[in-house]
Structure formats: structure tokens, C-alpha cells
Structure 1
């Protein structure tokens, strides 16, 4: 009920006029005149403090503020200003608790302590050193936890004192160097050396004597620790010894972490905490490392000294343990304790005994510690314990493999016989060879010997055959299938799935045909079976290598094939029908009456016959433009690749030729002289067609195309009677790279002709309508250098002198 009354009073306080003082806000009832922009930072801080004291948020009082006449705009401004106060901490508690708006929590302040970790490579094997070398570990106290009730106050601490209710007071009060806190209107109160709990009661009593509402219960007092003082501690014998300023909440482990832990020869088990020049506590870090016990991690006080003495004895544990390393031992501890520090043996350790290398006053000596002595042997300074691996051998292993149902490794026991092991392996398989099994036995000198047993007698109860076994015996039971030769049969020809097949006894030819998917549609009724000849004697008169069987297979009568029994390595060939060829076609395109694809009626059908079937040449056809385009076959490219031109390994002419046939030239052109064929169909130009040929009849073209290394690539109208030069001149002649002497012409039917010369008289081929004149480029030539001309001149001079000399 009291909390509800306080909230209502807070609402009145929040919404008074901006010109009112903070302590007058409680009396306001009309909030329509409130201007948030006119409120000072102190008044905003007062409102925030009241909200905190009553555990109330600004959102909770929004409905009541709007009901009292405050506009939504002004309330939004108030929320913004209160939010900025929460974020910046510019209120009267700026020296105390700081509110973290992102996390929604208060953070206690503490001076930042920075410590740079130094990796101890020399002491890295010492058990416990990793605790202080790891920069990710941190023993800093958590400042967000509640203040311990036994925390002792001292100079440098700071208290947050709040009075809330009817009367209010809020301030951050430091503990002075004299150990006192100064509270306005109350005076100075000594708190140094008191616990936070005792100091809280003393301060509340002092405030109650001044604030009457505190004594009556109308106001409450809240006291918290807002700033932690730092204390000075000294660390001796650490990796980084010296004086450290640390939090008054810090513990021994925190200080040891800052100092980097024990030094090179420092003890991890006899660390002394000195307070007032006396040993206050001895710290054993192994209690924490091994058991997680933090009873030694006591809190520190100002001017404490942490002394790390030199170790008294260390031992080394190597080999098959879970945590090998260097360990510090206390007086009275045994090897069993050392083993616990190392987390025990690993799974490969030999645990019957441990070897230890000891140091005497003169030399070294070796001692073996039996398992029974682990709890009594007390390690000596410098001992090196070595835990070895177990042997890679078995004390009771026996193996059976081969034709049994469960071949495996089994445990051996004294008196075990071959029948016992077979029974453990669930007996012999059906294919087991029972006449003989082999036992490979390891002798005492680790050499092996073989023994044999008749399993048939063993299973029949023969006690003499049922021999005793020894450990490490390997029993092999053979299978009759191991002695069987792997026979194959081959079938080829007009069969759907040709290839090799497994041979089985009594396999007939009919069975093999079915297994191979049956015959194809092109298969004839003739089937040939080749069988190898087997004989122990050589017959010089018979040179035959195989025996041939010719069989006939028909759907009506196939008894011969059905009853023909095959033998190993037989080769079956199903012959193809003498006449079985699918219709093959050629294509006719261009200036014919009926273009399209035509089936070759015979193997010797010629171009004249097919064009006649296509309706003959049309009225626009070029009689000189009939040609055949024949696809280049793969075997032609293969033939070129297989020819050795002796051009050398690095010469690319042959490779370029093959590549051109594969990629650039898809077909070869066969020129046709249609005029001769029409006059005489038996003329040699009436060529026989091949499947895939394309007959192309070009349309009559009254122009001549000139291309290549000419000034202007163009088509010139055909002028009857004009020659080669006329058309070259019509396009401006050749360019600088043009090679006129090597110019050639391509006729409409694909035939080509080149220019020729006779007694310095050059003649050019005849030009026909639809032809194409091509002028190639001149090949690039390299001019000889001056030095090369000089060399040639020298050679000629030498030859001339030689000739003159020879005629003298």
C-alpha cells in the first residue's frame, strides 16, 4: 500500500510547471502547463532518481500523466530527456553507480588493471604453468555481484547513499583518507575498518537522527558500494615480481595471475600469503588444478605480501599417462599421488610396473616400481618416471579362417581342440574341403611351422585327429571352390549383349543365347562354335587349333541348338544375314523440281538417276553448278593420323591437317559435269552416290565474285568473252599483298582451276557465270642481312680463287 501511495506522489512531482523547484514537484496536480524544455538537468535527474527509488518506469506512469492533462508531445520529450540522463550518467550519482542503457543494469566502477602476459617457454612442461600463461583466463573479481556483507571499507571506497520517500537525499560519498564519510546535514561518520554491513547500520542510525521521516518509517535509506578502492600487494618470486594495485575484492589467484605465476624455480604448492609480517595462509595450487578446490583462494588486504619460495623437489613423468610433464611433490606423497596429478594411465599404458631413473650423489641408477608399490614409493627429487606401452601381442589369441560360418579371432584356453574352435565358429560351410586343413603354429623362437589335420575324421569323432591347439595358432579351412578353375565362354556377332560369360556345367547353346539377350534382327540362322582341341599328344598331321561346329537356328526347329552342350572357353559367333541393310538416303537441294531426301535404290545408284527422280533441273538451274558434298568419314581422319609423314615430332603440318578435317571441313566437294552426263549417262562423271551425300544444284548467277587480296571484294556482272584480267581490273586490281600469279578460280560445280605459264606466257582459266576468283596473299619473306650478304660474297670469292688456282 505504501508503494502505491509513493507512485501517486511521484506522479504529482513529475508534472509540475517547469519553473518549479524539484522538491515542489510533489504538490503538482495540473500537468497541462508543463514544458519539458524548461526543466533543468537537475530536475530531470531528480525525476529519474525518484523513478529508480520506487522501481517504476516512465512507461508505467504514462496513462496517469496523460489523464492529468499532459500532452503526448511533452510526455515524449520527457521520455527522451530521461533516456539521455540514463545514458550519460550526468545525475547526482555520476560518481557512483553508472546505468548501462544497452544492458539495463548498473555497473560498479573500478580502476582498470592492465597486465601483459609473458609466455614461459622454459617452464612450459611444469604442471600448472598453463594456468598463468593463458591470456584467455582471468581471475578478476566480478564487480556486478552483490557486495559481500563482510567487505571491509577503507579509504578510496565510495558509497551511494539514498533517502527516498517523504524526504529525499541522494549522493555519492567517498571514504576519506581519515576513514570517514561526510553526509550533508548529518556530519562525518567513521567507517574505515568496518564491514559494509556494520557501516550501513551506523550510517542509517546517524541519518535517522537528522531525518525525522526515516525514524518514523515514512522514508527509507539505501546504501550501496559504488566504487571499489584499490589496494597494494607485493608479489615475490613470480615471473613478474613487484608491487601491484588491484581491486580490494581481489583474491590470491587474481594477484598470482597478474604476476604471471611462479617463476622458473618457484613453488606451486608452498606459496605463502604474508599479512602483518606473519604467514596468514599457505596456498597449494594443485588443490585447485586437480580437485577444483578454491579454499586457498582467499581475499587480499592492503599491503599483503605473496611470497613464492623455490620448490623443494620436482619429478618428471613421461610416457603413457594422460597428462605427462614435470610435477612438484610434497614430503610424504607417493607415486600414487603423482599418478593422480597426471590423471592416471592412458589406455595403452603398461601398468604392471613403472621404470624410474634416479639420481644419486655420484651417478644415475634405474629402479622398477611394481604395481603393489605404487602407494608406498615416495618419489625423490629429480626422479624421471617412464610409463611404457603394453606389448603388441596377445596372451590368448587363436584364429580360424576360410570356409567356416564365422571366421574370426577367438580366445584360447588350455585343452582347446580343433573341434572346439570349429564349434565356436558355428561349424563348416557346405563348400568346406574336409580332407585337409592347415594349422600355422608359432614356435617358442617365434618361427612358424605348418601342421595338417583331416577334418572329416575330426567331425566323425576320431580323437587322434582332433589335435590340441596352442595360442596364436591360425587354422585355415579350405573351400572346394578355391580349387575350381574360372572358366569363361565368349559370344559375339549378331547378339544383343556380346561378351564373356561364366561357364557352368551342362550349359547349352540355347541357354547362352538367352543369357546374352537373344539374337538381333540381322542375325542369320547360321551359328558357329569354335572349341579348343585338348590332347596330351601332339598330332603332326593335324595342324588345326580349334574344332568348328556349324549349327542352324530357326524358330520352328532349334533342337540342335537347344541340345548342344558348351564346354569351357568355347567361342560362339552368330553370323549376319547375307542381305540385311537398312534403307540409306541422300539429299537433293537447290534448283531441282523436287528437293528433299531420296533413298538409294541400289548400291550403284548414280547422280543422274537421283536427279531424274527429283524431276530434273529446274528452269533457273545453273547447268555448270551441279556438285556433290560428301561428308568426311571418321576412318579418313584416322588414316591421315596414322600416316607417318616423317616431318619430325615438332612439326605441326600433320596435326593441322587432321584438325582441319575434323573441325573446319565437314565434307568433300565432288564437281559434276552435268552437260557430259546428259549427253552420255555412262560418262565417268556420273559418279555413284554414297549414303549421306548431298546433291546441290546452284541457281544460275550472272555475276562473277572476286575475293582475296584485292582492293575491292565485289561481284562483277558476267561479260561473255571477257577474261580473267578483266574481272581483276574491275575491282581495282590486287593490293600490296596480292599474289596474282597464284590466283585461281572456283566454278559453280566446285571445281577449281589455276593460272599457268608457258615460255613466259601466262594463261588464265576461263571464267564462267557464277564463278569465284580468289587472289591469295604472297608468303612473307625475310630479307637477308648485311652480314649474310658478306658471308655469301666471301664464299663466292673463295670458290673463284679455288677455280683460278686449279687451272694454273
Structure 2
């Protein structure tokens, strides 16, 4: 054991020395020899990337220069010893990262098994290139610019061809059941390396065995089976294990190890050993026959038949899914039926392969196709002895809408096609033949024994013609009889004729139920309709409006009175009058006492306020479509409120006592005006609209027209004295200015900076504090501006800012036109004077 440690220490020292020398070699070579760093300016060590360091490392291994030669050359190029030291650190870091990465990769399955590195890859379908495409690829590699031109020409040619010839749509190809099993990328069938070693696994060359010795003695051996079938343990003769199972090989190896470790695995010895299978070998398996990619594949020794089929792409278009043979030593050792796996997930025949096994996929013998109402409409392979029932099981059985009474079959004969109808009784014994095409139709959306009853019966719906239910009377009895509102004079049967045209058969329902007429037999698809009396007349209603809590139209009920209708409408409102109720009734038959042109009957009456039942109420029995009007009490009105705010003693809301109260009365109710109230600025609002009222005149002359009558929700606002004048609109400096009695509008406009270029000067107007306005007037083109008062607003209107200005030529044309017009007028005046 000490000898082994010494050997390992020696090896580690040599390896360390080699690494140090290699690092120095890499550093110096990287600085001098590599292309890209032999320029006039030497690169800085800190600017080099890790990728460049790796490139230096690879190039340095190919150099033949000695370390001293590289170092002298580096110094002659101007590199300092500190530069060489930096480069050495960078190389050490990169090598350490690479070592850690490789260690991580190596340690991924360090305690388990790994697959051999020489395993075959899965074959995939790639579109074949024609000779022209191959020649184009060669030209593209030699001349990239030419490849662009060729690709453009080809694309243009393809577009032209697509316009000239339009390919017909190809029919959808029916899939063979199981054909996608080995094309599914998510289903790999890779052998599981983490399972316990199979008991039947036989060792062979390149298998690896792990021997762990534990207890009083600790040791470990990794034994690889040699091409001769032996494993070698230090100081022991070779142990032959080829063809043995792991358990048998374990007994043989432990028995031989007892020469080195006495009593190994014996009770009381204190030492135990365990032999397990480590990395596995690769085997070669040949696939032949109807497979997509026949050939010899290198697989893991744990691989099964499914693994091999997966790598080869599975059976080809003509390959059998049910006759796959595994041949070993020229003998068929197993026949695999993939349908066992596809239908039942049974892998009993998915045996483990051995080296030099041959898998042969035979040609299919019998295939049949199912279309229509089956769960898997596909092509299925049939073996000898299987009947149509078995194949239906392959297709998943019928859908819920399948027509199973007969199955249509198209069969190939030696000369032509043949149609066969297979009944339900023949399915269990019918033997399919190659090329059969079975069509499963859908059931017809019709019932063979359905009748329906609807209308005024207690249980309308669909019923089946059966024993005890074959006539109209029996059907009505099954529907639990007719309702009380059923119209018994006439009912109808809607029936289909032989040509499926509808016809109506009417009968007297009352006589039928009483047994006075013969019962009517039913046939399939009959529909019996029994109408309710209410559906044979206009919907009868009565209407009430006026002073009730819920106006509207209500269903008429026989015997309903006015009091009943008032109850349905929620009763009287508080202001309702119980006298002078009005009833409006349509004229139908009775025209006694009516005027010739009278179309309605009007009745006016009183009613008990508490809606108590009296003998008089019988006079007010309603008829369909009556209209009842409930009037409001003459003296009843809800309170009407007005509001006053601002400079009064008691602002707030007040009720209008009578219809004669005016604005002046409102001010009196509010206790009068406060000192400083600005009457000229008072505003009177009605329905959110300002009414220009001069409150000063109202108070001075209460009988003037300004003193308006008050209405509900009127509002009066009396502000404090306003001492400013506001200027807005097209002014250079819109501003508010203290009111000055001697100022004119021009003075105020000057104080606001004057007009802008968009101002309309002849349309200046003033908005007064009470909401009224004063506009500018003109006398002989002389503007007369309105008076300015306290709290008013001077508004300067604006021209349209997007109006187009006249061009110089347009101005000249206008001036010329005016001049011409002036000359014409002058000439006319002169002629008149003469």
C-alpha cells in the first residue's frame, strides 16, 4: 500500500513540474509567436481575453522553441519580467477553470454507469438533393457572391413556376397504426443506467466491474474485462468472467481475492467485499429487412429490441409491426409483436440484446383500413386467425354515433372491386383479407319510435311508441292528462306522409277523452299539439295611471274590480283624490246610450278611500283593456322651494307660500339686504339659466316687470360690491383693472396693452355683473361703445386665426377693381349732370 502512495506522489510531482514548464512555455510563446501579436505595438496582458489565452495555450503546444529561446525573444520585444508574471497568472487561472469544468463533467456520473462513447446516433429523415442542387452547393462554397445570384434566380424561377402550374391538392395519406412510434422525439427508449444490474446480464469485453472492500480493510478496484474475457487484480492471476452473470463473476472474483484478504466475506473475518457492474460495454446489432435504415448499429449492452428499432427508424412502409424476429447464433430466439406494446403496454418480448444479434423486420402480409365512425381510423395489420372483431379492437371500437347494423366493405378481387355488407352477427367470424377497406357510417338523426306531445298537458315531451302507448288517448294519459285551461274543441296531429311531406289531422279532443269518438293510432314522428285557451285570444290587460304608486299595465283576471287594480298598483299616492276617478272602456257590442260617433265609454265615479269592500264596488267591475285614471287632489301640491344667498341677513332655502310671491318677497323673507350688497351684480337663476334682472328696479318699483313671480328651484345670488373690471379676449395683456368712473372702454383696453392682430374691434361688448350684456353700436361708421360698470367684463372677440391672408397680387387686383368701379361711378355722375 505504501508503494502505491509513493508511486502516486511521484506521478503528482512529475505532473506538477510538467505543468509549470508548460505554463512558462505558453506564456513566452503567446507573446512572441502567435499571429496578431507580432505587430509594431505589443499587446497589453490585461487586455487579452480568456479565449485568446486558450488560443495561446493550443498554439504553444505546437511550437518547437525552447523556453529560454522564447523568453529571450520576449525580452528583446520589450516585454518586462512583470508582464511575463502576469501572463503566467492568467494561464494558471484559465487552466484551473478548464480543470474544474472537466472535473465537473467527469464527476456527473462518477458513482454510476455511463454509456460508451462510440454508440450509434438515431437516423432521421433528411430530404434528398438532386444533382443540380448538389452542383449549386459546390458552386456556392467556391463563390459566395455567385450563391446569392443563384439563390435569387432560383427563387424567381420558383415563383414563375408556381404561377404557371398549380399543383393539385394531394389526398391525405392514411397512417399505418404504430408508424409514429419510433418517430416521436420525446420517446427515446434509452436504457436506464440507474437500475440494479439485471440478473441475466452476461459480462463481456469492455465491461467494468467495481470491487469495494470494506470493514477492517479498505480498498477499491475498478476491473475492466479484457478482450480475452478476463479481469486483472494486482498480484493475482487473470480471472475469467466472460459470459458469466454478475453474481457468478462476483463469487469467482471474491474467491480469488481471499488470496490477498483472508476470510473475506466470511463471518468474523472483519472484512467484506461487494462486486457491482460499473460502466457497460457496447455491442453491435444488425437490423435487416423492412426497416427505414437497415445496417449495423453500436448500442449499449443494456439495449433492448426497442432501442435498436428506435435507432433504425422502425419498420418501413412495407415492414411488419407484428413479425419482428430476433436472431442469435442463426436461431430465432424471440418474435416481437409491437401491437402488444401499443394496445396493452406489454413488453414481454422486448428482450435484452447481445453482441452480434440480428433483428429482421418481415414484410407485412395482411393490412386492412378502417374509415368513418371508429375511434382510430387507420390502417391495421392482421395476423392469421384474427377476425373482424379483433381488428375493431385495434381501432378502439366504434364511436357513439357509429351505425353498427351493417358494415360496408370494399374488397379487391383478382379483376375488380367487390362490395360486401357485413351484419352484426357476422363480425365475430368474418376473416379480413389484405387490402380490405371498411367504412363505418353514422346513424341517421331520426327515431324509429318517437312521438311528441306539447301544449296544455302536465308533462309535455317526447315519448316512445311501445306496448301500452300506441294511441293518442294513451299518450295523453302518459303525459298525466290535459290541463284545466286546455282547449277541448280542437287539437291537431302533425304527421309525415310517405314522401315525408307534413300534414295536419284535426280532431275533437273533448269527444276523444269522453270516448265519444274512436281513438287515433300513432305512427313515428307524430306531434300532438293541445292548445291552451289563453293562447287562442289576445292577451287581456288593464291599465292604471295617475296618482298611484306604480303606474302600468297588468294582466286582466275575471272579476277584477277597480279596487283590486289599485291594490296591484301599490295603492294611492298621498295627493290622490278618491273622487272623480275615470274609467275608459272600449265599445264592442253594447252601444246602448252611446252617440253615433262615440268609440269609448267614459265613467266617472268615487271610491272608498280605504279601499274597503262595499256593495257599491260591484259597479266598478273591470273588463279587458279598461283604462283607469286617478286624479290629484285640487289643493294638493308638493312644497316648492327657492334659494337666496349672498348679502342678505338670513340666506338659505324658503318655501313658496302661494303663486303670487315675487323676487321682492324673497328678499323680505330673507330679512333684507346687508350693508354693502351690490344690487347691480345680483344674478337670478332659473333652471341653471341666468335671467338678467335689475334688482335695484325691483326694490324701487315692486310692480315692475323685473319683479318676476317665483317658481320652484329659483335661485338669487346677491354679491358684495365688485370694484374691478375684467378684460378678456384678443388683448396683449388680459387683466382685471380697478373700476374708474371716468374711464372709457378705450382707457381700459389701453391699460390691457391694446388689441392683438386678431381682434375684432368693432364688435367689442361688455358683460355686466347681473348677466346682461351691452354691445358696440355704430352711427355713420362711428363706434358707440357700451357703458362700463363695476364688476363688468370687457370682451374683445377674435377673428378666425386660420383665415388665409391676401397675397400681394390679390390686393392689387382688389385695388384695381375698386379704382375701376370708382371711375365708372364718376362717369355715370358726369353724364347725369350734363
Same fold (TM over 0.5): yes
Give the Cα–Cα distance (whole angstroms) in 2 for the partners of residues 727 and 795 of structure 1: 39
Which of 221, 224, 242 is matched with 1:171 structurally? 221
Give the Cα–Cα distance (whole angstroms) in 2 for the partners of residues 696 and 95 of structure 1: 93
Q: Which residue of 1 aligns with 2:702?
A: 681
- What secondary structure, in the 3-state scheme, does the structure 2 residue paired with 1:377 have? coil
Q: Which residue of 2 aligns with 1:222?
A: 274
C-alpha contact (below 8 Å) 1:96/1:226 kept by paired residues: no
- Extract unaligned runs of 5+ from structure 2: 6-11, 13-99, 128-170, 826-830
- What secondary structure, in the 3-state scheme, does the structure 2 residue paired with 1:269 have? strand
Judge which range, 519-528 or 344-353, deviates more: 344-353
Give the Cα–Cα distance (whole angstroms) in 1 for the partners of residues 335 and 369 of structure 2: 24
5 Å-filtered alignment, 1:755-774, equals 755-774=776-795
Distance 1:436 1:707, change over 3 A: closer
Q: Which residue of 2 aligns with 1:621?
A: 677
Distance 1:791 1:280, change over 3 A: farther
C-alpha contact (below 8 Å) 2:265/2:273 kept by paired residues: no
C-alpha contact (below 8 Å) 1:119/1:133 kept by paired residues: no
Give the Cα–Cα distance (whole angstroms) in 1 for the partners of residues 812 and 759 of structure 2: 32
Judge which range, 427-436 or 139-148, deviates more: 427-436
What's the CA shift string for 1:514-540, capped at 9, x where partnerless? 111111112122210001111399999
**Alignment partner of 1:597 is 2:637:** no
Alpha-carbon shift at residue 496 of structure 1 (Å): 0.7
- What secondary structure, in the 3-state scheme, does the structure 2 residue paired with 1:209 have? coil
**Alignment partner of 1:98 is 2:110:** yes
- What secondary structure, in the 3-state scheme, does the structure 2 residue paired with 1:98 have? coil
Give the Cα–Cα distance (whole angstroms) in 2 for the partners of residues 119 and 347 of structure 1: 41
Which of 286, 310, 313 is matched with 2:339 structurally? 286
Q: Which residue of 2 aligns with 1:325?
A: 378
What's the CA shift string for 1:756-790, capped at 9, x where partnerless? 22123322222333333233334323113468679
Which of 657, 665, 668 is matched with 1:609 structurally? 665
Which of 219, 234, 237 is matched with 1:187 structurally? 237
Distance 1:477 1:108, change over 3 A: same
Q: Which residue of 2 aligns with 1:339?
A: 392
C-alpha contact (below 8 Å) 1:454/1:465 kept by paired residues: no
What's the CA shift string for 1:540-573, capped at 9, x where partnerless? 9611110100012343797545641111111111
**Alignment partner of 1:549 is 2:549:** no
5 Å-filtered alignment, 1:46-445, equals 98-99=110-111, 106=112, 111=117, 114-115=121-122, 125-214=175-264, 216-217=266-267, 218=269, 219-236=271-288, 237-413=290-466, 416-445=470-499
Alpha-carbon shift at residue 356 of structure 1 (Å): 1.1
Distance 1:770 1:478, change over 3 A: closer
C-alpha contact (below 8 Å) 1:97/1:226 kept by paired residues: no
Which of 685, 688, 693 is matched with 1:672 structurally? 693
Alpha-carbon shift at residue 504 of structure 1 (Å): 1.1
5 Å-filtered alignment, 1:657-736, equals 667-736=688-757
What's the CA shift string for 1:480-530, capped at 9, x where partnerless? 444354211011111111110111111111111111111111212221000
- What secondary structure, in the 3-state scheme, does the structure 1 residue paired with 2:681 have? strand
Give the Cα–Cα distance (whole angstroms) in 2 for the partners of residues 116 and 252 of structure 1: 16
C-alpha contact (below 8 Å) 1:587/1:692 kept by paired residues: yes
- What secondary structure, in the 3-state scheme, does the structure 2 residue paired with 1:372 have? helix
What's the CA shift string for 1:633-690, capped at 9, x where partnerless? xxxxxxxxxxxxxxxxxxxxxxxxxxxxxxxxxx332233334334322222222333
Judge which range, 273-282 or 484-493, deviates more: 273-282
What's the CA shift string for 1:104-132, capped at 9, x where partnerless? xx566555775366599997610111322
**Alignment partner of 1:526 is 2:580:** yes
Judge which range, 538-547 or 157-166, deviates more: 538-547
Q: Which residue of 2 aligns with 1:75?
A: none
Higher fraction of strand: 1
C-alpha contact (below 8 Å) 1:179/1:192 kept by paired residues: yes
Alpha-carbon shift at residue 297 of structure 1 (Å): 1.1
C-alpha contact (below 8 Å) 1:96/1:172 kept by paired residues: no
Alpha-carbon shift at residue 206 of structure 1 (Å): 0.8
Give the Cα–Cα distance (whole angstroms) in 2 for the partners of residues 498 and 21 of structure 1: 114
Distance 1:403 1:698, change over 3 A: closer
Alpha-carbon shift at residue 254 of structure 1 (Å): 1.7
Alpha-carbon shift at residue 308 of structure 1 (Å): 1.9
Which of 640, 643, 652 is matched with 1:584 structurally? 640
Give the Cα–Cα distance (whole angstroms) in 1 for the partners of residues 622 and 640 of structure 2: 39
- What secondary structure, in the 3-state scheme, does the structure 1 residue paired with 2:682 have? strand
Distance 1:123 1:254, change over 3 A: farther
C-alpha contact (below 8 Å) 1:167/1:213 kept by paired residues: no
Judge which range, 283-292 or 485-494, deviates more: 283-292
C-alpha contact (below 8 Å) 1:123/1:129 kept by paired residues: no
Distance 1:231 1:779, change over 3 A: same
Give the Cα–Cα distance (whole angstroms) in 2 for the partners of residues 296 and 769 of structure 1: 112
What's the CA shift string for 1:333-376, capped at 9, x where partnerless? 33232222212222222223221111223322212223333233
Q: Which residue of 2 aligns with 1:476?
A: 529
Q: Which residue of 1 aligns with 2:570?
A: 517
5 Å-filtered alignment, 1:444-459, equals 444-459=498-513
Give the Cα–Cα distance (whole angstroms) in 2 for the partners of residues 254 and 608 of structure 1: 109
C-alpha contact (below 8 Å) 2:120/2:297 kept by paired residues: no
Distance 1:762 1:460, change over 3 A: closer
C-alpha contact (below 8 Å) 1:628/1:695 kept by paired residues: yes
What's the CA shift string for 1:615-643, capped at 9, x where partnerless? 33322122422331223xxxxxxxxxxxx
Distance 1:336 1:717, change over 3 A: closer
Alpha-carbon shift at residue 454 of structure 1 (Å): 4.5
Distance 1:783 1:373, change over 3 A: same
Alpha-carbon shift at residue 435 of structure 1 (Å): 4.6
Give the Cα–Cα distance (whole angstroms) in 1 for the partners of residues 198 and 188 of structure 2: 20
Q: TM-score, normalised by structure 1?
A: 0.76
Q: TM-score, normalised by structure 2?
A: 0.74
Judge which range, 409-418 or 680-689, deviates more: 409-418
Alpha-carbon shift at residue 252 of structure 1 (Å): 0.7
Distance 1:787 1:411, change over 3 A: farther
What's the CA shift string for 1:281-325, capped at 9, x where partnerless? 332212322343323211111122222233223221112222221
- What secondary structure, in the 3-state scheme, does the structure 1 residue paired with 2:251 have? helix
What's the CA shift string for 1:421-472, capped at 9, x where partnerless? 333333333334445443344444434444455554554556x623443344
C-alpha contact (below 8 Å) 2:563/2:611 kept by paired residues: no
Distance 1:623 1:140, change over 3 A: closer
C-alpha contact (below 8 Å) 1:269/1:286 kept by paired residues: yes
Aligned residues: 682
Q: Which residue of 2 aligns with 1:568?
A: 624
Distance 1:198 1:508, change over 3 A: same
Judge which range, 147-156 or 313-322, deviates more: 313-322
- What secondary structure, in the 3-state scheme, does the structure 2 residue paired with 1:186 have? coil
